[in-house]
Amino acid sequence: MNTGPHHVPVSQEHPVAQAEQSMTRSAQREQRAARILDAAGELLVTWGYPKITIEDVARRAGVGKGTVYLHFPTKEVLFLVVVLRAQAGLTDHLASTMRRSPEGILPSAMARSVYLSMGDSPVISAIMTGRSETLGTLARAAAEHSRELVADRITTSHAYFDLLIEHGLLRSDRHRDDLVYAFMSIMTGHLFAESFVTVQPGLAPPETPEHRADILADTVRAALGEEGTTDALTAAWPEVAALYEELARRARAEVDRYTQSTRDT
């Protein structure tokens, strides 16, 4: 009996070729998901979340409506992933900034870095300056569909402030949770202040993003009582930078969970 290569089943003869075909399908699936997210992000920035339908996204991405649903089961999940992808980019930038110098780990430096980075993220800017119900909708979607990442963000934030307090870099007369709340309140208020002040007669925000970022950093520095020695800052630096590098990794993994798979696989 002829047992030459032409009679060997393809599944046994070409395992490498099969793997390459599988990788190609995976890459195509990931590229298609990215194209859908790009289209959804563009519409979010130009139209606003409430006006967009899945049909609009499919049309912009050049795919069928059913294809969108293969990756993202609902509109809320789709736009949650749009925001998660943008947040992952901000977290990457923040981790990189922290790794460059010890001063980068302080809350004032973090606030300044995040604020300036938002100028490069139209999606985050659109969410933060858009309708308040959009924030609520996507926050509920995150709590339901990305529960572990939400928990990771909270855990990282608590660990971050605990480390800074432990090293004497922040005021210690307030509980850690008070400092977290103060930081979040200052950040949120500052992000909304520009659009609010702009419509008030006789008021105007500082002209440049750098000037606004400096005011934000000064406010955070004063409220949280940033202090401590250079030695304390240097000692806390590796642990804090590692915290945010790990958070950035987990944020990217959460986005990959959607872009690298479909509901029919």
- pLDDT tens digits, residue range 137-163? 888 889 898 999 999 999 999 999 999
Kindly list the structural domains of the chain, giving each domain's residue range(s) and its CATH number in brackets, ordered by start.
75-259 (1.10.357)
**Among 253, 251, 260, CA closest to 70:** 260
- pLDDT tens digits, residue range 241-250? 999 999 999 9
pLDDT for 3 equals 46
- Which range, of 49-53, 216-220, 261-265, averages the lowest pLDDT? 261-265
pLDDT for 4 equals 46
Locate 34 and state its tokens. Answer: 């990215």
The band of 14, judged by pLDDT with boundaries at 50, 70 and 90, is: very low
pLDDT for 131 equals 66
At residue 57, does pLDDT exceed 70?
A: yes
- pLDDT tens digits, residue range 112-140? 999 998 878 888 888 877 666 777 888 88
Instruction: Tell me what the mean pLDDT of segment 22-51 comes to.
Output: 87
- pLDDT tens digits, residue range 170-223? 999 999 999 999 999 999 888 888 777 776 787 887 889 999 999 999 999 999
What's phi and psi for 239, nearest 5 deg? Answer: -65, -45
